[in-house]
Structures are given as C-alpha cells and as structure tokens.
C-alpha cells in the first residue's frame, strides 16, 4: 500500500526546481546519489536502534531460554551446561510445587484482574462526567501508579498485619475475628490481589476514559431518543464503544498476572517471600522461577519455568481468540 504514494512524500526525484535536470555535472549527480542513499537508508538507520536492542536483550534471551531449559546448569558454574533433553520438563510435570504455583498464579490472576478492570470501568465512567476538580480526581487515581511495587507491598503488608494491622482493627470494630492475612491461603491471595488492584485500577481507568471520550456524542443522542436509560446507554453505547481498549487492557493485565513477582515476594516479609509463604500458599510461577534459579541454583529448571510461563501466555491468548471467534459466530 505504501509503494504507490512513496514518491510524493520522500521526493525520490533529485532536489532542485523542476525543469533543471539533475544530470550533467558530476557534482550534482553525486549529491543526487547521496540524496537517494539518505532517503533510502535513513529510515532504516532510525528504526535500527530499537530492533538491535530488542534483538540482543529480549529476543535472543527468550529463544535461548528454551535451549537452556534442555540442560542442567548451576548458578555457580554458568558456563557448564549438561544436556538432559526434556528431563527438566518431566520433573516439573511431576512436581506438586509447580502445580501449586500454577494454580496460585491463575487464582491470584483472576482475583486481581477481574475486580480491577470492572472498577476501572466504573471509575472511568465517573471521570467522564463534566465536573469540578476533574484534573485532581484524575491525578489522584494515578497516584498508586507512581508507587513502586516494593513501597506498595511494604505498606499493604502493614495494613494487613495480623496483630496490629488496620484491616483487622476495622474488622474487629464490626465484630469480625482477626484474619491471618499472611499464613492463610485465601486471605493471603486476596491481600496480594488488593495490592495489584490498588496499583493499576486508576491507570486502566484513564485508558478507558480516553476511549470513552472518543465515542461520538450522537450515538448517545440516538440512544436517548430511543428511550434508553443511563444504564442501557452505558452497556449498549459506552462498553461497545471502548471494546478494543477493553481487549487491550485484558491482554496487558493477563501478561502482568502471569509474571506476578514483587507483590507476593515482599508481602511474604523477607525469608518467606521467595517460597510464597511457609506452605507455598501464595507462591506464583514468577517466584518459583526465582526460587529454582537463585535459591536452589538450578538455572536449567528456572529456564523451564520461564518457558512454561510463555506457553501459558500463548495458550491464554489462543483461548481468548477462540472464545471471541465463537462468540462472533453465535451473535
């Protein structure tokens, strides 16, 4: 599609007023040649840094991960690789800690993503009203985004503290017994999800808000002429109108959820962090990857976990596409 319009924009004809042909003198021919070289080559030079850095530090490591996963490599002797074929995968398949981590990753992923995106949708709807101090509310909802995982997890660790934490104090005030937010499996997963939700709801809300503001006003006018209530307008005009952004945030949150690491690590308060609690009750795949590689010194197994995480992502997106295709076929 680009080729038909190429000439007009990049000026492949030599510079100079029309009517004076560029040929003739060698000097002008050389400058014409240089010009052509510049026009042809410069775009590639401009995009090259991105691709070089990506190839070296992202693509190559990703591919090499699969190679390492077929070897035994110890952290202390990184240059000694012993070929073991699929042993790492077989061991992982038979390892209950892996299945536990996989399960935790999925449950924490659902617990953190679904409420987060629903709340973001509601918040975006609120922010879309005409109002006073709209900038304040937007910046305020973005404040958690400015907080690092580490700082956020430390604060929430204290807020969820069993003995003197604020949540248990508030629960006690309404007559609920204190909850052990670290040692008990489900409370711990809820608490960790809360950190994720807190950090990302406002950011997602701003993405939704941007998309909402691009919905043409006449769609709402048409809907209200048809007698649609505010709620009907929301579900029939707003949500379909920002659909592509919703898909985008689901993709981003899914990627984030499979990689979850900092929140459970720091929430575990030091020694228990890497194992995801004393009984691995909130160990995610990200933590398992780190534990295998940097606590058990088994880099091959660590690479295997990484590769499984990648497969998991691919599967998740394949499933999502399939569901979308099935849905569009039925409707």
Q: Which of residues 31-60 bind other proteins (CB under 8 A)?
A: 34-35, 38-40, 42-44, 46-47, 49-51, 53-54, 57-60
Instruction: Looking at residues 81 to 110 of the shown chain, list those that interact with other proteins (rule: CB under 8 A).
Output: none
CB atoms within 10 A of CB 22: 15
Instruction: Looking at residues 189 to 248 of the shown chain, list those that interact with other proteins (rule: CB under 8 A).
Output: 198, 202-203, 206-207, 209-217, 220, 241, 244-245, 247-248
Helix (H, G, I), strand (E, B) or coil at 74: strand
Region class of 44: left (phi > 0), else alpha (psi between -120 and 50), else beta:
alpha
- Return the number of the residue (59 or 86) whose C-beta is nearest other proteins: 59
Least distance to other proteins from the beta carbon of 182, Å? 12
Least distance to other proteins from the beta carbon of 112, Å? 16
Stated as kind and residue range, the H or E segment containing 46 is helix 26-54
Q: If we measure between CA atoms, which residue out of 202, 203, 200, 210 comes closest to residue 128?
A: 210
Least distance to other proteins from the beta carbon of 143, Å? 5
Least distance to other proteins from the beta carbon of 144, Å? 6
Least distance to other proteins from the beta carbon of 189, Å? 19
Q: If we measure between CA atoms, which residue out of 89, 162, 106, 159 comes closest to residue 282?
A: 106
Do you know the residue count of the chain? Answer: 331
Least distance to other proteins from the beta carbon of 327, Å? 18
Asked if 309 is part of the footprint of other proteins (rule: CB under 8 A), the reply reads yes
- 8 Å CB contact between 253 and 113: yes
Q: In DSSP terms, which residues pair with 139 in a beta bridge?
A: none
Contact pattern for other proteins over residues 113 through 152, marking x by CB under 8 A: ---------xx--xxxxxx---xxxxxxxxxxxxxxxxxx
Helix (H, G, I), strand (E, B) or coil at 296: coil
Q: If we measure between CA atoms, which residue out of 72, 113, 91 comes closest to residue 303?
A: 72
- Return the number of the residue (59 or 186) whose C-beta is nearest other proteins: 59
Instruction: Looking at residues 275 to 304 of the shown chain, list those that interact with other proteins (rule: CB under 8 A).
Output: 286, 289-290, 293-294, 299, 302-303
> Per the structure block, which two tokens stand in for 64?
């090499």
* Gyration radius of the chain over CA positions: 27
Least distance to other proteins from the beta carbon of 255, Å? 5
- Return the number of the residue (13 or 279) whose C-beta is nearest other proteins: 13
- 8 Å CB contact between 156 and 194: yes
């Amino acid at each position: 599609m680009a080729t038909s319009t190429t000439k007009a924009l990049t000026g492949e004809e030599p510079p100079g007023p029309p009517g004076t042909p560029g040929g003739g003198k060698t000097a002008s021919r050389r400058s014409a040649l240089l010009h052509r070289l510049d026009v042809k080559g410069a775009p590639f030079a401009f995009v090259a840094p991105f691709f070089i850095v990506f190839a070296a530090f992202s693509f190559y490591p990703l591919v090499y991960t699969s190679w390492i996963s077929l070897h035994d490599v110890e952290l202390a002797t990184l240059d000694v690789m012993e070929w073991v074929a699929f042993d790492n995968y077989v061991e992982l398949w038979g390892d209950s800690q892996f299945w536990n981590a996989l399960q935790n990753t999925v449950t924490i992923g659902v617990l953190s993503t679904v409420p987060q995106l629903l709340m973001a949708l509601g918040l975006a709807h609120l922010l879309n009203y005409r109002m006073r101090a709209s900038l304040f509310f937007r910046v305020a909802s973005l404040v958690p985004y400015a907080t690092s995982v580490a700082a956020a997890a430390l604060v929430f660790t204290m807020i969820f503290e069993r003995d003197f934490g604020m949540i248990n104090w508030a629960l006690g005030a309404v007559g609920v017994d204190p909850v052990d937010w670290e040692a008990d499996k489900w409370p711990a997963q809820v608490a960790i999800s809360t950190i994720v939700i807190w950090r990302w709801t406002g950011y997602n809300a701003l993405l939704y808000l941007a998309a909402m503001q691009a919905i043409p006003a006449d769609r709402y006018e048409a809907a209200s002429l048809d007698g649609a209530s505010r709620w009907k307008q929301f579900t029939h005009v707003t949500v379909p109108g920002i659909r592509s952004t919703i898909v985008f945030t689901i993709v981003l949150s899914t990627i984030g959820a499979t990689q979850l690491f900092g929140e459970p690590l720091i929430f575990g308060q030091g020694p228990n962090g890497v194992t995801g609690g004393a009984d691995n009750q909130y160990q995610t795949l990200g933590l398992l990857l780190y534990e295998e590689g940097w606590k058990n010194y088994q880099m091959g197994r660590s690479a295997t976990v990484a590769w499984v995480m990648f497969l998991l992502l691919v599967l998740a997106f394949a499933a999502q596409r399939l569901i979308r295709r099935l849905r569009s076929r039925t409707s």
